[in-house]
Amino acid sequence: MRGSFSIDEIDAGTRIDVFVTRHAGGISRSRVTLAIKDGAVLVNGDPAKPSRPLELGDLVEFEVNEAVAIDAHPQNIPLDIVFEDDTLLVVNKAAGMVTHPAHGTTDGTLVNALLGHVGALPGETVRAGLVHRLDRDTSGLLVVAKTPEALGTLGRAMQARYIKREYRGIVSGIPRDPEGTITGAIGRDARNRLRYAIRTDGKPAVTHYTVREELIQSAECVFRLETGRTHQIRVHLAALGHPLLCDPLYGRSDARFPLPGQALHAWRLGFKHPKTKEMLEFEVDPPREYLVTLAMLRA
């Protein structure tokens, strides 16, 4: 449901979540709160916190719909399994595969494939077993927990930044500095809910980069994350002025290259095994389309 209201004396002082719930046609307050956090509710053109009190003359605009239940079911989809035991598995996700079911993509995802392979995984059904995620067109390494204990231990390790993740990516142009750190809090883009942006009220995010190879009007870089925000590398590199090659959201697509989307690959993954406490480290090369693009840019 959509709405647009100018606040009068009667509603002045009302919390934004309470006001929108009153005018959202019976949609629950919890759903309205989630919509506010997702940037679907604007006050004078900007996202607001659910507790924000409205002032006389404020313009409130929203688009809120009741959530549709999404489930995940097993599917017989091939997986590139790098490592597996009775506690966890590490997979090399293909570019173009969505990590878990969501609105618009309810099957054919990595979680569907994992359930088809394992049968059952711990945690929320839609995100069963997932310790972290990758964007649809980002390829590479993901660790998946097979037991509740492993999911809890690896989840805490991820929050504490004990899991090492490195990415390889091709950026447009050549960064001025051969290595550096990009710092900028990330939140929903107020003008496009599909995008994220650097915002003062966003969640802290830190990305380290090193230029691995200079190419023709581009460069391949290695990225190391201190945080794991949605679209973090893509947002930070666009803010640096060097968006990832073929990124349709933060740069532009380029039909000359065989990439399905942004040139980004989760290259290395390292963590302590939650049961044996052994340090595990994995590395996988980027997919063929990425390597072909590299060769084209070297020519």
CB 21 within 8 A of CB 41: no
CA distance 221 to 157: 26
Look at residue 158 and give its three-state secondary structure: helix
Strand 264-272 vs strand 139-145: parallel, antiparallel, or unpaired?
Answer: parallel
Closest-CA residue to 195 (of 238, 246, 165): 238
Name the helix (H) or strand (E) containing 23: helix 16-23
Do the beta carbons of residue 181 and residue 287 sit within 8 Å? Answer: no
Burial per residue of 71-106, b for 16 or more beta-carbon CB atoms within 10 angstroms, e otherwise: ebeeeebebeebeeeebbbbbbbbbebbbbbeeeeb
- Residue 165 CA to residue 214 CA, distance in Å, equals 22
Shortest CA distance to 224 belongs to which of 235, 213, 215, 232?
232
- How many residues comprise the chain? 299
Catalytic residue among 11, 17, 58, 135: 135
DSSP structure class, residue 191: T
Q: List % helix, strand, coil for the chain (3-state, nearest 5).
A: 20, 30, 45
Clarify whether 201 is annotated catalytic.
no
Nearest to 37 by CA among 49, 55, 28: 49
Alpha-carbon distance values, 9 to 4, 20, 43, 136, 232 (Å): 16, 16, 16, 47, 41
Q: Which residues are catalytic?
A: 135
